[in-house]
């Protein structure tokens, strides 16, 4: 068969995908442990979201207040002493957060400046964020991979779905229609053509959903610490290019990165989304905490922190 025969390309792609799947399977236990550790650290520092309100789960008893309808009294509990008590349910207004971790070939990059790939960092943050959200009573899903769930073992469920995913590893989320009250978190290096990035963000926001775009980069992609004759390989099949004196490319490279990011930020600003740049030599916990604090910070105060806006406005969920 010829070198460009589709069957040859398909065989090579399949073999490469299988190898990547085995490599990811081998590292997943470490990533899961790291995600649990980071999630526990952040959860420990957060105030719980529990409060009284409409819901199905019992929260607490409180003393009856004069003027309330007598129908609210829990007579069985009140019979234990001389006071009247009201049975309160836990406030429930869970919404869905869709988390997309980019698992494409470009995310496998790690320079000598760091000890983990962009893929490792993206997966750890995605898994840890899922656990923090579920702990707070939210539902979490992965576009095209896993339906929203509030399962307490959400980290393991997402990890299993990722490891057994037979689909091509796309750089950007698939097209789907999240509900207007949903939130979307995109974790990617975002080195796709700017037209594709704009199209993806516009499609995801079309229903009115709020979102957060995180560009995960290796420090070498920020500083371009290269000199002399260097061959640069494009990991997703676009070939290679050789620089005779790589240091002379630094200024042009930095300018192109600046323009690319400015165009992403302009689009996220226009839609009211957040845009964050995260380097893999920085703390994953810091990114997780920042994302959590940004959740629900949309124009209408919707999302997992929406009760803060409601409390300030004197409203109810």
- Mean pLDDT of all residues belonging to the chain: 80
* Token pair listed for 15: 């073999």
Residue 45: how many CA atoms within 13 Å on its side-chain side? Answer: 12
How are beta strands 85-89 and 58-63 bridged, if at all?
antiparallel
Neighbours of 212 (CB within 10 A): 23
**β 239-243/183-188 pair status:** unpaired
Bridge partners, 52 (sequence order) = 90
Task: Pick the more confident residue, 51 or 252.
Answer: 252
Q: How far apart are CA 188 and CA 306, in angstroms?
A: 26
- pLDDT tier, 104 (very low <50, low <70, confident <90, very high otherwise): very high
pLDDT band at 157 (very low <50, low <70, confident <90, very high): very high
DSSP 172: S
The H-assigned helical ranges of 230-277 are 250-271
Helices (H) and strands (E) in the chain, counts: 9, 10
Strand partners, 101: 187
For helices 6-44 and 118-135, give the axis angle rounded to 10 degrees: 50
Q: Which two tokens stand for residue 11?
A: 């065989």
Q: State the Cα–Cα distance between residues 92 and 4, nearest whole angstrom.
A: 56
The share of the chain scoring above pLDDT 70, in percent, equals 76
Assign 276 to helix, strand or coil: strand
Q: What is the predicted pLDDT for the residue at 303?
A: 46
Mean pLDDT of 163-170: 86
Among candidate residues 51, 81, 47, the one with its CA nearest the CA of residue 63: 81
Q: pLDDT, tens digit, for every residue of 235-277?
A: 766 667 787 788 888 899 999 999 999 999 999 999 999 999 9
Mean pLDDT of 287-305: 67
**The predicted structure's pLDDT at residue 236:** 66
Average pLDDT estimate for 51-56: 45
State residue 16's pLDDT score: 56
The average pLDDT across 125-130 equals 93
Q: Cα dihedral angle (293, 298, 300, 305), rounded to 10 degrees?
A: -20
Cα gap 316→307, rounded to integer Å = 8
CA 182 and chain centroid, separation:
13
pLDDT of amino acid 130: 92
Give the model's pLDDT for residue 123: 93
**Angstrom distance (rounded) from CA 102 to CA 169:** 8
């Amino acid at each position: 068969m010829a070198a460009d025969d589709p069957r040859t390309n398909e065989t090579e792609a399949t073999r490469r995908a299988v190898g990547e799947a085995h490599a990811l399977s081998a590292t997943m236990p470490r990533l899961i442990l790291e995600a649990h550790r980071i999630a526990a650290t952040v959860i420990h520092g957060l105030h719980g979201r529990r409060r009284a309100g409409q819901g199905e789960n019992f929260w607490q008893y409180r003393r009856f207040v004069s003027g309330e309808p007598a129908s609210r009294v829990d007579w069985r509990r009140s019979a234990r002493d001389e006071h009247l008590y009201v049975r309160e349910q836990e406030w429930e207004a869970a919404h869905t957060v869709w988390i997309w971790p980019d698992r494409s070939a470009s995310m496998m990059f790690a320079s000598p400046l760091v000890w983990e790939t962009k893929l490792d960092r993206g997966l750890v943050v995605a898994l840890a964020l899922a656990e923090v959200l579920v702990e707070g009573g939210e539902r979490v899903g992965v576009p095209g991979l896993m339906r929203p769930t509030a399962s307490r073992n959400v980290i393991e469920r997402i990890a299993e779905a990722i490891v057994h995913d037979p689909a091509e590893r796309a750089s950007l989320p698939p097209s789907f229609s999240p509900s207007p009250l949903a939130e979307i978190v995109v974790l990617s290096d975002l080195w796709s053509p700017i037209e594709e990035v704009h199209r993806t963000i516009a499609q995801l926001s079309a229903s009115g959903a709020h979102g957060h775009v995180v560009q995960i980069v290796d420090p070498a992609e920020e500083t371009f610490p290269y000199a002399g004759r260097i061959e640069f390989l494009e990991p997703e099949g676009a070939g290679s290019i050789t620089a005779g004196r790589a240091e002379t490319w630094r200024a042009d490279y930095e300018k192109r990165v600046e323009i690319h990011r400015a165009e992403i930020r302009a689009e996220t600003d226009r839609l009211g989304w957040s845009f964050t740049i995260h380097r893999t030599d920085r703390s994953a916990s810091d990114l997780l905490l920042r994302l959590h604090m940004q959740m629900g910070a949309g124009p209408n105060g919707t999302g997992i922190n929406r009760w803060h806006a409601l409390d300030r406005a004197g409203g109810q969920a």
